[in-house]
Structure 1
Amino acid sequence: MSTPFEKPQIIAHVQRSLNYTVFDSKWIPCSAKFVCLGNYARGTGVMQIYEVEHGEVKLIKEIEKAKPIKCGTFGASSLQQRHIATGDFDGNLNIWNLEMPDVSVYSVKAHKEIVNSIDGVGGLGIGDGAPEIVTGSRDGTVKVWDPRQKDSPVANMEPGEGEAKRDCWTVAFGHAFNDQDRCVCAGYDNGDIKLFDLRNMSLRWETNIKNGVCHVEFDRKDINMNKLVATSLEGKFHVFDMRTQHPTKGFDSVSEKAHKSTIWQVRHLPQNRDIFMTAGGAGNLHLWKYEYPAQRSKKDSDEVDMGVAGTVTLLQNVTLSTQPIASLDWSPDKQGLCVCSAFDQSVRVLIVTKLNRV
């Protein structure tokens, strides 16, 4: 048991007001810089680069774009290039060189409607295999792109014949632990969670958590699937143990009613996959730790293996804003450093202490 004084503290290090709505914020790998993505009131997109210096954030660059930008990822880029891929309100996927961000280095009309979510793998030294980007859209489709190939996706997951089109709110890569294997998880507005196996181009598993799925994230992309967290519109999150899939029951899970309102995001600590932060609609952050059970699988009555989920413990929570915290990103380089943005038109750099004592 941790003694009270060992509890991690979530400290608001610096706050910066913005003159636009910010939807996503991401650390630029191997730097003390982060990028904010959003839209101006006049309906155009904005990309800002900030640097953390001597306890302040300094604006380095601001670029206006034709369309509002919803989401971004560095996941498919090399550490040398550190290009950011973005999805916008018009369904476009663009890749930008932040050194020369006026013109995209890759651009494709990815979807008919807004790109709600984006993730990348195969870059930054994370995950084996090709650099790939996955996009999820209001048009109901989930598409995987290899930026080395031009206009068409390498995979397109769309509703089947007679299936209703659902708004895809969130996508995430996982299981990229060798050159062949890779999965995409997608969450939808009706509570559906679907796991697509890209190696076999098949739907591997699906479930429904009875409420809109705001965010999904694997605890690590570059390992054999271990855990998946899904957050929902009603303030509950689910942790699925992804090591053992039962033929009929699927993956075992534990759920927690964590926030009084929507949980917009979940982010695992890069340096410890069993610690994660959830960001809520009431402007709060909750820090959690996952504890594994004594045995991760057991036999059912037919002697078939089924998974056993663990438990979650709340380590700390803090309220930062009266508005929803829409994005959160841990620094991949400095443990405990994170950036978050909220709909109060501000971005905050936070420091979470004592994480190595948890």
Structure 2
Amino acid sequence: MIEVYDYFDRPLLFSIRNATGSLFVISFATARGDEEKWMVVEISPSRLVSFHAGQLNVRGVFEFPENGQILLLRVPKSDGDMIVESMSSDNETIREFLAHPEVYINLDSETIEEANERVRSSLGSSARPFANLRLERQGGGRSTIDSRIMGSILIHWQDTVSNIGMNIAGMDNEKGRIPFEIHEATTFDYAAGWNGSVGVTLVTPERNRRIINPLLEQSLEVLRQLLESQSVLNYYQIGANDQVVSLSKRTLLKFKALLGSLRASESSFTMSYETQPGHTVITGLNLGQVYAKIEQIEGYADSDERLYATRGIIKVLNTTTGRMEIVENETDSRYIAYLDDREFFKTHSLSVPGEYVVFINESTSVNRNTGEEVKNYRVLDIQPIVKATE
């Protein structure tokens, strides 16, 4: 499970489990020049529980890493390789970015937004409205519309954006973590229904907009069709902040590889929205869905084979002999035999012992002599896993 929360107007990703079972906390640090910097630290399950409960603050996670190691990921915004560096717990990046030691997050008693408010005066805020949605009932009269119909429409729209929730029908869900505000809410009665008009403004830090906004834009036509098909609404508009940039295909590829071939069924962003107190929605955003969706938006849906590749993990034990051990595979024994081939090792120059994610393209051909189907494998990419060297 991957959880994404706002912390000091920056995204904080935690409870990330790679294929070997390790848990990581990942936090955005800076985006200067042509690269982004992310901080990574391994965390034990017991420490993660303390972190969730507010007994351990974010700064403590990074300043006192359990294994003594903090990694700094330098991710290029365009072409180029991601660089993984070690960093000291007293590094200036940590001191500038993380909270003061006395600031804690208690996810059971307050939202991240509430935690932000406690320190906003000293750190400032980059949170600004990035999307505005205005809905008006057809004809503009005062008759009411059942809130369940309104909710149904928005739930369908929610599905088109990989389950990013925008349900304002008062569903009974978990506490919101990334709030959005309802304007002209006096015209909307959660119990009796909806009449007149309602405006929805999403307010969230800039880094989260990079993930959410492309999906919203992609869904506008679907939303329009849903509204017209219900003969309920005939007007909408949505505007996006000009500074919004989609999460790049390259960054997603690197993160998938870095975290150890996360399977789509296991990896999901948890994002929540709060409309009004007591009326919230929490939804799961599957990493694979976002991955595929943004590929489609950027026009790469069919061009990058890694999107559909089989992924396995190999462990290079000895760079002299090229001996390898299969840690995980998703196909049959022929796949294992292929990865254990010395030619594979020589061809792809795995010179550093450790674990790697391998992206494999599988195809089927027919033996002309026997008529039997033959599996063919081709390596598309190899990426190291964090903390690969033993």
If the length of structure 2 is used for normalisation, what is the TM-score? 0.28
Q: Rg larger in 1 or in 2?
A: 2
Give the structure with the larger strand fraction: 1
Higher helix content, 1 or 2: 2
